[in-house]
Amino acid sequence: MDNDLEKMAAQCRTFTKEMVDNPYRGLATFFGLPYTESLDNLDIALIGVPIDLGVTDRSGTRMGPRALRNESRGVGAYNHCTRSTPCTAHRIADVGDVPFRSVYRIEEALDDISAYYRGIAAAGVTPVTAGGDHSITFPILQGLAPKEKVCLVHFDSHCDTAPPIHGCGYTHGSPMKNTVEAGLVDAEHSLQIGIRGSSEPLWEFSSASGMRVIHIEEFYEMGWKGAVKEIHDLVGDSPVYLSFDIDCLDPAFAPGTGTPVAGGMSTFEALQMVRGMQGLDVIGGDLVEVSPPYDHAGITALAGATLLFEILCRAAEARERRGA
């Protein structure tokens, strides 16, 4: 065994015993990490937000965190691209799911999310979140209340900048508009990648606010390396939040989602872009819209968990660079 492999094997042994011995045993936590509800002495928290009150079509993403926990048991702990095991270099735990007072009133539920993330921010913890539908990204950023506007790197088939739908301004079709209007996101240094489909007329706000929208056709012209370059050029050293809607992937790779749109990117291309975000000051991220009732053989949850691990790695690297 060469030195790196020996080091990796030693680091992996610090995981929960079940993960090393029998990945199918025990309670499923994200990546087999320890479970704790306390935010004390943590660097990074894996958080579930099991809610789907914001969907415009098929429900089911409230079951997303549980499916992602299950599939994540086969993901990590070693990142073969960065040759690192971030979960042992940092204090990282699965802190469970955001508690809700009620799951029948979306405004109240989103308030519960922002309250929870205020606690995350106060504890100095970097959040890596598993949704839930995409409406959760707005209250997450509200709760984090960054001192300066953050850049947003948003992977999706939809821009999610819709005006109110049936009188409701807080759906999974509008979180990116909400974050910009609330002064949380620097629209002119934000990107939306993978956009396609018939909802285009709803996304006027994206171009009006100056967001860089990379439709899937342009993405295929430039390739993932070109997209990564644009991300770095536009974001630079600024703090950035990464939001990944699994429906960015083609339904062949991620059928288990509420609003699938044919003609998307592959899991590999998505992974390469998130890997390409090494060096950015990632303050947190989310992986949303995995809907287990529409999934087959866990294919969508596995893609989601693998992307979630890469998001976690970027968050860990950013903390290292900040010396946090």
**Which residue number, 160 or 310, has a Cβ lying nearer to Mn ion?**
160
State the amino acid at position 202 in one-letter form: L
Q: Is 189 labelled as part of a ligand binding site?
A: no
Is there binding between residue 156 and Mn ion (CB under 5 A)?
Answer: yes
Q: Is 186 labelled as part of a ligand binding site?
A: no
Q: Is 156 labelled as part of a ligand binding site?
A: yes
Report d(CA 304, CA 174) in Å as an integer: 21
Neighbours of 133 (CB within 10 A): 31
Torsion angles phi and psi, residue 67, rounded to 5:
-65, -40
Please count the residues of this chain forming the interface with Mn ion, following the rule CB under 5 A: 4
Closest among 35, 37, 66 to 49, alpha carbons compared: 66
Q: Is 160 labelled as part of a ligand binding site?
A: yes
Q: Is 111 labelled as part of a ligand binding site?
A: no
**Which residue number, 32 or 256, has a Cβ lying nearer to Mn ion?**
256
Q: How far is the CB of 122 from Mn ion (least distance, A)?
A: 28
Q: Is 134 labelled as part of a ligand binding site?
A: yes
Q: Which two tokens stand for residue 302?
A: 């596995």
Q: How far is the CB of 160 from Mn ion (least distance, A)?
A: 4
Binding mask 238-267 for Mn ion (x = CB under 5 A): -------x----------------------
Choices 81-89, 138-146, 154-162, 270-278 (CB under 5 A): range interacting with Mn ion:
154-162
3-state secondary structure of 192: strand
Task: Tell me which of 52, 94, 112, 160 binds Mn ion, using CB under 5 A.
Answer: 160
- CA-based Rg of the chain, rounded to a whole angstrom? 18
- Determine contact, residues 205/179, Cβ cutoff 8 Å: no
**Which residue number, 90 or 134, has a Cβ lying nearer to Mn ion?**
134
- Determine contact, residues 287/75, Cβ cutoff 8 Å: no
Q: Which two tokens stand for residue 237?
A: 């050293």
**Which residues of this chain interact with Mn ion, rule CB under 5 A?**
134, 156, 160, 245
Annotated binding site for Mn(2+): 134, 156, 158, 160, 245, 247
